[in-house]
Structure 1
Amino acid sequence: MKKIIAIVAGVLLASMASADDDPQQAIPARLKVMFERPDKPLDIAPVVVQADWAIVGWRQDGRGGRALMKKSHHGWSIYLCSGDSLKDARTLETIGLSADDAAGLAAKLKDAEAGLDSSALALFSSFEGTVMMNEASNGAGHAGHEGHAQ
């Protein structure tokens, strides 16, 4: 049994290492490891990236929202979780993104969400307020937020 677990762990680590280069794979994989449960699958879409920043939409167990992600030398981590405020370039600038990155990210998000159904958009919008994350918590700070972790 230990050998099987070691093999599976090795395969998972190898696949995650190759996925680290592609944010379209690395970001959903990271979030699923942190939040997905067998009885509560996590849907991550869309994923839009501008430089070292990304915004992702998430849905799980009838809830949803958006997460602002930041890439560092440790990979992608959650910077904050919110709702519609992450669609606004001025808000993104206030958070700390450059004007170019904020405008690019907001435009990409608008384009990506244009093809989604209204129920997905309603879930993204339903996230109330903003939950700041820090790298030390690595997502643990989000665990207490009823909107997602339960």
Structure 2
Amino acid sequence: MKKIIAILACLLLASTASAGDDPQQAIPARLKLMFERPDKPLDIAPVVVQADWAIVGWRQDGRGGRALMKKTHHGWSVYLCSGDSLKDAGTLEKIGLSTNDAAGLAARLKDAEAGLDSSVLALLSSFQGTVMMMNEASNGSGGGHEGHAQ
């Protein structure tokens, strides 16, 4: 029985590690862990990735927007939330992305959103302003939790 449990534990760890490596799985899982509630399901789509940056569309409880995410040594963290401003490569450069990463993300987002229903696009565009979630003071860790990995 102990061998079976050990084998199952290894399989579970292996599947978790491989899912954590795929941003298309890791990012929605991270956001759902952070924000989803039983009475308020979180819909994540699209997810576009360029290097250590991602833009994610989200919808929850009649609201929506886009999140800019950054991959750190802690995994994917929400850098900021906004609306249509995240579709613009120039804005992404001003935030701090390289020209290449900004252009790549903007192009991927345009392609990914081309097939979305107009009502979904309206929700993604409805987020007003910009809310910073991560800053230089947190050293890219998503909230000053540097000590957890040490």
TM-score per shorter chain, which class? Answer: 0.7 to 0.9
Looking at structure 1, the residues matched to 42 and 13 of structure 2 have their Cα atoms a distance apart, in angstroms, of: 20
Name the % identity. Answer: 84
- Superposed, 1:98-109 pairs within 5 Å as 98-109=98-109
Cα pair distance change 1:40/1:118, threshold 3 Å: same
Three-state SS of the structure 2 residue aligned to 1:20 is helix
Cα pair distance change 1:137/1:80, threshold 3 Å: farther
**How far off its partner does 1:27 sit?**
0.0
**How far off its partner does 1:19 sit?**
1.3
Matched, 1:39 2:46: no
Matched, 1:21 2:28: no
Please report the RMSD computed on the Cα atoms of aligned residues, expressed in angstroms: 2.0
Cα pair distance change 1:118/1:54, threshold 3 Å: same
> What's the counterpart of residue 53 of structure 1?
53
The counterpart of 1:136, out of the listed 136, 140, 143, is: 143
Three-state SS of the structure 2 residue aligned to 1:25 is helix
Q: Which letter does structure 1 place at the counterpart of 2:30?
A: R
Looking at structure 2, the residues matched to 137 and 61 of structure 1 have their Cα atoms a distance apart, in angstroms, of: 29
> What's the counterpart of residue 3 of structure 1?
none
Three-state SS of the structure 2 residue aligned to 1:106 is helix
| Cα distance per residue 1:71-102 (max 9 Å; x no partner) | 01110000000000000000000000000000
Looking at structure 1, the residues matched to 76 and 35 of structure 2 have their Cα atoms a distance apart, in angstroms, of: 15
Aligned residues: 130
Which sections of structure 1, spanning at least 5 residues, go unmatched?
Answer: 1-9, 139-150
**How far off its partner does 1:67 sit?**
0.1
Cα pair distance change 1:40/1:102, threshold 3 Å: same
Q: Which letter does structure 2 place at the counterpart of 1:54?
A: A
Looking at structure 2, the residues matched to 13 and 40 of structure 1 have their Cα atoms a distance apart, in angstroms, of: 29
> What's the counterpart of residue 113 of structure 2?
113
